[in-house]
Amino acid sequence: MPDLPPASGASAPGPASAGIPEAPAGDPTFDAEAADDGTLRPLGELPACDFWATLYARRSIRKFKPDPVPRALIDQVMHAGIWAPSSCNYQMWDLVAVDDPLVNARLGALSMQMANAPVNIVVSYGRDFSEEAWANIQSASALVQNMSLAAHALGLGTFWITQTGGAEKVREAVGLPYDRLVVAVLAIGWPKVIPKRGPKRRPLRQVTHWNHYAGRPIPSSTRPADWAPDLLAIYQRARVLNGLRHNKPRLWEVRALDGALDALVPEGRAPTETSAPQRWLDVLPCTGILTARLGVQRPGFRFDVVERTREVAEFVAQRVSPPGRAFIWPKDDRMVEANATAGDQRPPPAGAYDVVSCLHRLEGLAPDARRTLARELATWVKPGGHVLLAYVSRRSYHDWTERLRARRGGPRGVEYVLSPDPNIGPFETLDPDEVAALVKDAGLVVRGEYRAQAAPEPEEVEFRARNFAPRTKQLARLAAGGLRLALRLPGLAQRRARLRYLLLQRA
């Protein structure tokens, strides 16, 4: 690798052909500031590393050892950061490295992501500098990327945090003046767990163009009608395989599903020894969180999975024991790009399943696709078998809480839509009358119904409000409690239930 700039007192780098000009004596731009204890290694003694190896081996670290990190190493990481390009070379960044446990506790109270590492580097930029085209954000981001690569080269791990629980609250917690805009926080420490393989990337041909854009962008909309099936398949495959595959189930959702199973599908509670066990098809399970729960609660069934892409279907099919078979839906010419070959588009066999479940997936489809999928559900189930359909009712509190969340400036967008499982991608609640029409059109009849959560449960309130200010969090608790009291009126809770489960049968 090229020689790095020397610290004060270190030998000068090699000739200019090394890529870095020789430093004049005492030039502060080439000196690392010495730590109080004099332990800062001169920059010229940094470990040799290959640029490409560092680039491709860097990982986002989510679990850190509690061991402290010498300030000398943090200084070296930050020194690498300030060598990033900045708009007009203004360098209007200020960094606050937090290694005080008390201050880090205050940051961790704002966002759980800042509670995992022994050091958090708060990255700020001049609020009124280079605002055009967000050049200030770009400059700070280049600095963060430099620090991430430098930390990896030094054996440290980092996690780039944008969900800070409020940039202004972070700024106040570390004493930055108002004219400093907090852009991000970089958590840094010794890795406790290092992913062996990097996340899969979208193929280069899907994201690059020469001279003129010639592609179809993945939408930023949460409206299902704005998404083509193949684009949704590509997006969800990337999210499931690269970052959300290990999401944990949420207690209030698990409780609702367990209640629905007890009320509507009581069979299959114990494993069966028969040579031909009953079969269950779970439709579009996405991350497979609920599929795994079904497998635990109903071990008397053998589970198969149908998803939009082969890779996601196979991943979810491995979450049940014994592993199930993986199928693809819908079959469409454009889906060949989302899957490896046209031969991967194998649909489930018709009339093969005792139970077919579709849990909170109609909400992510455009109206025409909803009708198509409802009809498919009816073809996959055996005569006399059942379809278990779950959806979020538009007549519930769900949309109201979504509007409140948007007004307070919280996370929003496709990846933050609040819904069971959690849903990944577009999502909209459904009117019960619309669902009734879909069921009738598919030739299905209702044999049973279960409703749950007319008001947010305490665990959900705590989860949703975890990054709120104390006063706002208390108001959320009081509002949810008041709603629960109001719903004690006869019949109101049933009419306003958020989660609705239908047990259907072919007519």
Which segment, 112-126, 198-212, 247-261, 392-406, is predicted with the most confidence on average?
112-126
- Given a contact cutoff of 8 angstroms between Cβ atoms, the answer to whether 336 and 395 are in contact is no
φ and ψ at 444, to 5 degrees?
A: -115, 150
Alpha-helical regions (H) of 251-309: 251-264, 289-297
Residue 236, pLDDT > 70, answer: yes
CB half-sphere exposure, 479, CA atoms < 13 A = 15
The predicted pLDDT at position 71 comes to 93
pLDDT classification of 205: cutoffs 50, 70, 90? confident
Contact, 463 vs 410, CB < 8 A? no
Dihedral sign from CA coordinates of 387, 393, 399, 401: negative
Domain ranges of the chain: 47-189, 229-394+414-454+496-506
Question: Mean pLDDT score of the chain, rounded to an integer?
Answer: 83
Q: Which of 69-78, 129-138, 194-203 has the lowest mean pLDDT?
A: 194-203
CB contact set of 19 (below 8 Å; sequence gap of 6+): 2, 3
pLDDT confidence tier of residue 10, bands split at 50, 70 and 90: very low
pLDDT at 47: 78
Q: 227 or 339: which carries more pLDDT confidence? A: 227
Say what the pLDDT of residue 29 is. Answer: 39
pLDDT of residue 271: 87
- Per-residue pLDDT at 246 exceeds 80: no
Cβ-based burial of 34 (10 A; exposed 0-12, middle 13-18, buried ≥19): middle
How far is the C-alpha of 162 from the C-alpha of 166, rounded, in Å?
9
Rg, Å, the chain Cα set = 27
Residues 6+ apart with CB under 8 A from 474: none
The per-residue pLDDT for 40 is: 44
Q: pLDDT band for position 339 (50/70/90)?
A: low
Which residues of 110-221 form beta strands (DSSP E)?
A: 119-126, 157-161, 180-189
pLDDT in tens, 404-451: 666 655 556 676 666 676 678 899 999 999 999 999 999 999 999 999
Give me the pLDDT at residue 14, please: 32
What integer pLDDT is reported at residue 430 of this predicted model? 97
Residue 170: the pLDDT is 95
Q: Which residues pair with 181 in a beta bridge?
A: 125
- pTM beyond cutoff 0.85: no
Is the model's pLDDT at 500 over the cut of 50?
Answer: yes
Average pLDDT, stretch 209-233?
88
| 229-394+414-454+496-506: CATH topology | Rossmann fold (3.40.50)
- Indicate the SS3 state at residue 276: coil
pLDDT in tens, 146-200: 999 999 999 999 999 988 888 999 999 999 999 999 999 999 999 998 887 777 7
Task: Of 188-202, 316-330, 334-348, 423-437, give the lowest mean pLDDT range.
Answer: 334-348
Sign, Cα dihedral of 400, 405, 409, 414: negative
pLDDT tens-digit readout, 269-304: 988 776 678 999 999 998 899 999 999 999 999 999
d(CA 188, CA 156) in angstroms, rounded, equals 7
CA dihedral defined by 390, 392, 397, 403, rounded to 10 degrees? 160
Lowest mean pLDDT among 16-20, 100-104, 280-284, 422-426: 16-20
| Confidence at residue 473, expressed as pLDDT on a 0 to 100 scale | 74
Q: Which fold has domain 47-189?
A: NADH Oxidase (3.40.109)
Residue 213 pairs with which residues in a beta bridge?
A: none
Write out the H or E segment, with its range, that includes residue 504. strand 499-506
